[in-house]
Amino acid sequence: MKKYPPDTDNLNALADFFDHADVTGLADLEEVQDRPHRGLVSVTVRLPKEDVEELKRRAARMGLGYTSLIRAAVRRFVGR
């Protein structure tokens, strides 16, 4: 059974998956319930309210949570 969605934080890989996924076959896919702990560290950062609101809008359009979008942006910046 294939995993749905792919277990990755790579936005390009997720976008590619959803761009090419045949939604008629999604009923046969296994939903990923628990993600493995990846050594994440919690940080606190203060951002302007307008920036957070824009992040939430963009993340929603991409089908992501805004914190996932922030994490992907940081990973992209550090070259991972």
DSSP label at residue 78: T
pLDDT of residue 27: 66
Mean pLDDT of successive 10-residue stretches along the chain, which has 80 residues: 62 76 64 68 92 93 89 85
pLDDT of residue 22: 64
pLDDT of residue 30: 67
Cα 21 to Cα 27, 29, 45, 46, distances in angstroms: 12, 11, 35, 37
Q: Where are the domains of the chain?
A: 1-35, 41-80
pLDDT of residue 24: 66
Cβ distance 66 to 41 under 8 Å?
Answer: no
